Amino acid sequence: MPKVVVIGAGIVGTSLADELTARGWTDVTVVDRGPLFATGGSTSHAPGLVFQTNPSKTMTAFARYTVEKFSALEHPHGWAFNPVGGLEVATTPTRLADLHRKAGWAQSWGIEGRLLTPDECLALHPLIDRDRVLGGFHTPADGLAKALRAAEAQARRAEARGATLRPHTEVLGIVDNGRRVTGVRTTDGVIDADVVVCAAGFWGAQLARQVGLVLPLVPMAHQYARTGQIAELVGRNSDLAEAGLPILRHQDQDLYFREHVDRLGIGSYSHRPMPVDMSTLLSDTADEAMPSMLPFTDEDFAPAWRAAVDLIPALEDSKVEEAFNGIFSFTPDGMSIMGEHRELAGFWVAEAVWVTHSAGVARATAEWIIDGTPSIDTHECDLYRFEDVARSPRFIMQTSSQAFVEVYDVIHPHQYRTALRGLRTSPFHSRQTELGAYFFEGGGWERPAWFESNAALAQQLFDDGLAVPQRDEWASQFWSPISIAEARWTREHIAMYDMTPLTRYEVAGPGAAAFLQRMTTNNVDKSVGSVTYTLLLDDTGGVRSDLTVARLAPDTFQVGANSPMDFDWLTRHKPADVVMRDITGGTCCLGVWGPHARAVLAPLCPDDLSHEAFKYFRAIHTHLDAIPVTMMRVSYVGELGWEIYTSAEYGSALWDLVADAGAAYGIIPAGRIAFNSLRIEKAYRSWGTDMTAEHLPAAAGLEFAVRMAKECDFVGKAALEQAAAPTSVLRSIVFDDPDAAVLGKEPVSVDGVCVGYVTSAGYSATIGRTIAYAWLPAHIDVGRAVDVAYRGATHTATVHAEPVVDPEMTRIRR
């Protein structure tokens, strides 16, 4: 049986010990520098509020499991979970509208919740000032976790199954044989191990650095205060129950509240970000009870206190009695960090985890370690999700600080940071800027969303009858009607799209073809010049990514991928006779699409671009005018045309060449919003949003890319052979009202019952309606009417056959 050492006996480490031993891996040692179970880590003083609803489906599922698990734990001192319910109040119209969005997430992810009037808020929580609140959102299954009891109960259960707990044992270093971990070096000698899991809380980044791993997390102080006795609370709660009122969030002022018998606990995120200097932490906390508690800074709390009194007038006669600046981890995107070190087998991390998500993260980690694949999609938490730039200390600090500031803010899905922009720009960037591009950010890249230079053209199209929907205020943010004109113009004429941020790798060597055959679902071992759409599956058949694989030479392939996790996955499986390079940054890509694409490009190219000579899904090395290029006849927007690749130094010449040659045909630059709406018209999926590892190809509508009959075995094939027919499937739905817009994650109901959720959506210029994808029960057929809840409104839509536009593929194959 493998020997496991878990570093850290906080809520994550103890929960993991329980999950591992429950699966029969009982040779587990949990080491902690501190005493048990108030080790001195973040768990020791976490007030334990568990609000389950999160924009992330995965995080919500993690939280739901924590509630379920903690509710069933037994501890001699009492409950580990007290389901007092959760209440979030709105004091501004923006927040009130956003609570509708949150209620939508809750419904989509299966959390019971209800929007409340101010009177209903007051009835649930009599301490709040009725006149301050505009409404609220109540989630009855939320509540309080007693983190230390939960840690102890789980640790003791693990111990009963054979695990060992070693307090007062500090891990000083990781021991390895150059390839894999062999143990940990502690203040009490070396402990041998086949698997080491770093669950060391905010100290984890330092431990991981010892083995060459950057964990993008920042330890930050966060203020928590307990008041003195509050008359209104006296007699309400027993010492055992501690609380009866729902846990309360007042997000407009970055505050949360819970009862401590007859006192209130107040947490505040309203202060400046206070990143912790780990080099002085021990001396800074020498006078405190624990090394994760910094001295309270009154001046930072003063405005929070005033805001707290405003919401809860009963606080007027009270004051702060005990308070501290507690430390825990923040990450650039607010997500946890999970996974195994690629270069050091057996070294795992489970980091930046709230109490709320702890049991869920622990379960997924145990499954991942033991079975090889977690049963839930974890890509948003993946250790290898970060681009190189996102591992720089400056980036980590900047984005994590921003995550702190925004922790309770209303964040639009297309709101991007303003700091640290312009880090990754394509060679077309200066031209795009001149053309008035409005940039979205993704993976550090600047990506045009639309071009103001198309405003006059758009106006002309609108004057000529192209419909413009009346989008609501929320959906109109970070959006422009110009995008509709760009999409229409692409279908009717021609447009150029910057595809540079599309991640791409060169996979080369004598073993390249066999490697890609084994890793992906489709047959990619075809003639030089072939391009294949194919899937990466995990061992359980879940869709890890979708790729295009172009064979550019017998032993050289270009892979178009989705994220750094694809590089990680392929690298982990790569044999020695294959070399893989990420060529994204050194190259660029221009998508030239539309009915006039051939007419524009053919005169520039010495090769024959006719349909017969250059077929759909083929690639060639050639030249456009004087520029060496690789052309692929691929179109994510579903039009005649090519992706044109060249190395970065030719980029701006390529842009100018195509722009000049296209002028006679009215070529325009077009942006991401048009791009997105066009791909949705064509039923093309976007990995990570529309489907994830949680879905089998058939469910995601991607079975056409799986070649079960191909000669060789491929990762995930055995699982697909065993797979039952999917019970839910990804469908296209079309909204009835031309003005209806949705942005993603909205719940979908049939006959008043929530049956699924929206993934992505875009306004289709072709049909004058918004089209969205939704996960729906397999029996909900084409033609069925569904209701989509959008920020308090209900939009009706109809399940549509796919693709909505050009099902005969005549636009592409001509």
Question: Which residues belong to the active site?
Answer: 222, 256, 546
Phi, psi of 726 (to 5 degrees): -65, 145
Which string of DSSP letters, residue by residue, matches 567-617? HHHHHHH--TT-EEEE-TTTEEEEEEESTTHHHHHGGG-SS--STTTS-TT
What would the 3-class secondary structure string for 254-317 be?
A: CEEEEEECCEEEEEECCCCCEECCCCCHHHHCCCCCCCCEECCCHHHHHHHHHHHHHHCHHHHH
* 96/614 Cα distance (integer angstroms): 55
Nearest approach, Cβ of residue 284 and ligand FAD (Å): 15
Residue nearest to ligand THG (CB): 560
Select from ligand FAD, ligand THG, none the partner in contact with residue 31, using the beta carbon and a kind-dependent cut-off of 5 to 8 Å. ligand FAD
Would you say 526 and 700 are in contact if contact means Cβ atoms under 8 Å apart? no
CB 551 to ligand THG: min, Å: 13
Q: Does 806 bind ligand FAD (CB under 6 A)?
A: no
What SS3 state is found at 411? coil
Minimum CB separation of residue 123 from ligand THG in Å reads 51
Minimum distance from residue 208 beta carbon to ligand FAD (Å) = 11
The two structure tokens encoding residue 228: 């003195």
Q: Which single residue is written with the structure tokens 């609108």?
A: 462
Q: Which stretch binds ligand FAD (CB under 6 A): 32-40, 512-520, 695-703, 721-729?
A: 32-40
> Residue 337's binding partner, choosing from ligand THG, ligand FAD, none, with beta-carbon cut-off 5 to 8 A by kind?
none
10 makes contact, choosing from ligand FAD, ligand THG, none, with CB < 5 to 8 Å by partner type, with ligand FAD
Q: To which residue do tokens 């490697």 refer?
A: 515
Tell me: does residue 33 bind ligand FAD (CB under 6 A). Answer: yes
327 binds, among ligand THG, ligand FAD, none (CB under 5 to 8 A by kind): ligand FAD
DSSP class per residue in 71-94:
HT---TT--SEE---EEEEESSHH
* Residue choice 19, 32, 284, 690 for contact with ligand FAD (CB under 6 A): 32
**Secondary structure class of 58 (helix, strand, coil):** helix
Taking the least distance from each CB to ligand FAD, the nearer of 272 and 615 is 272
And the tokens for 159?
């111990």
Which one of ligand FAD, ligand THG, none is in contact with 617 (Cβ closer than 5 to 8 A by kind)?
Answer: ligand THG
Say which amino acid occupies 630.
T
Verify binding: residue 264, ligand FAD, rule CB under 6 A.
Answer: no
- Is the distance from CB of 89 to CB of 128 less than 8 angstroms? yes
Closer Cβ to ligand THG, 378 or 503, answer by number: 503
Q: Are 204 and 216 in contact (CB under 8 A)?
A: no
Q: Which is nearer to ligand THG, 354 or 636 (CB)?
A: 636
Asked whether the beta carbons of 489 and 670 are under 8 A apart, the reply is yes
Peptide bond into 291 cis (omega under 30): no
DSSP-based three-state secondary structure for 712: coil
d(CA 642, CA 280): 56
Q: How far is the CB of 369 from ligand THG (least distance, A)?
A: 29
Under rule CB under 6 A, which residues in 8-27 are in contact with ligand FAD?
Answer: 8-13
* 513-523: burial string, b at 16+ Cβ within 10 Å, e else: bebbbebbbbb
**Quick check: 34 binds ligand FAD (CB under 6 A)?**
yes
β-strand partners of 221: 274, 327
d(CA 806, CA 231): 69
Instruction: Sketch the per residue contact string, 279 through 318, with ligand FAD: x for CB under 6 A, - otherwise.
Output: ----------------------------------------
Nearer to ligand FAD, 47 or 118 (CB): 47
| Using rule CB under 6 A, residue 651 touches ligand FAD | no
Comparison of 43 and 426: residue with beta carbon closer to ligand FAD: 43
Closest separation between CB of residue 562 and ligand THG, Å?
A: 5
- Is the CB of residue 675 less than 8 Å from the CB of residue 623? no
Among 4, 36, 90, 207, binds ligand FAD (CB under 6 A): 207
- CB of 337 or CB of 547, closer to ligand THG: 547
From candidates 120, 170, 232, 492, binder to ligand FAD by CB under 6 A: 170
Cis peptide before 37 (omega within 30 of 0): yes
For tokens 């989630």, what's the residue? 139
CB of 155 to ligand FAD, least distance (A): 11
Nearer to ligand FAD, 10 or 501 (CB): 10
Q: Any contact of residue 354 with ligand FAD (CB under 6 A)?
A: yes
Nearer to ligand FAD, 354 or 675 (CB): 354
CB-based contacts of 753, cutoff 8 Å, min separation 6: none
**Interface with ligand FAD, residue 40, by CB under 6 A:** yes
- How many chain residues touch ligand FAD (CB under 6 A)? 38
Least distance between ligand THG and beta carbon 572 (Å): 19
Q: Least distance in Å: CB of 645 to ligand THG? A: 9
Min. distance of Cβ 397 from ligand THG in angstroms?
31
Report if residue 42 touches ligand FAD, rule: CB under 6 A: yes
Q: Which tokens is 532 given?
A: 């294949």
Which of these segments, 114-122, 347-355, 496-504, 741-749, binds ligand FAD (CB under 6 A)? 347-355
Residue in 811, 502, 489 with CA at minimum distance from that of residue 662: 489
Residue 31 binds to ligand FAD (criterion: CB under 6 A): yes
By CB under 6 A, tell whether 222 contacts ligand FAD: yes
| Site for ligand FAD contains 443 (CB under 6 A) | no
Long-range CB contacts (within 8 A, 24+) of 779-784? 780/731, 780/750, 780/755, 780/756, 782/731, 784/750
DSSP SS3 for 802: coil
Nearest to 442 by CA among 546, 547, 584: 584
Rule CB under 6 A: which residues touch ligand THG? Answer: 502, 533, 546-548, 560-562, 617, 632, 634, 636, 643, 684, 705
d(CA 778, CA 478): 34
Q: Which does 684 bind (CB under 5 to 8 A by kind): ligand THG, ligand FAD, none?
A: ligand THG
Nearer to ligand FAD, 275 or 511 (CB): 275
Query: Least distance (Å) from ligand THG to the CB of residue 750?
Result: 27
Ordered DSSP codes for 416-456: --STT-SSB--TTHHHHHHTTEEEEEETTEEEEEEEGGGHH
- Provide the 8-state DSSP code for 56: S
In degrees and rounded to multiples of 5, residue 75 shows phi and psi of -140, 140
Q: Which is nearer to ligand THG, 265 or 564 (CB)?
A: 564
Residue whose tokens read 């073809």: 513
Site for ligand FAD in 511-530 (CB under 6 A): none
Residue with smaller CB distance to ligand THG, 346 or 501? 501
Contacting positions for ligand FAD (CB under 6 A) = 7-13, 31-34, 39-43, 45-49, 170-171, 199-201, 203, 207, 222, 224, 267, 326-328, 353-356
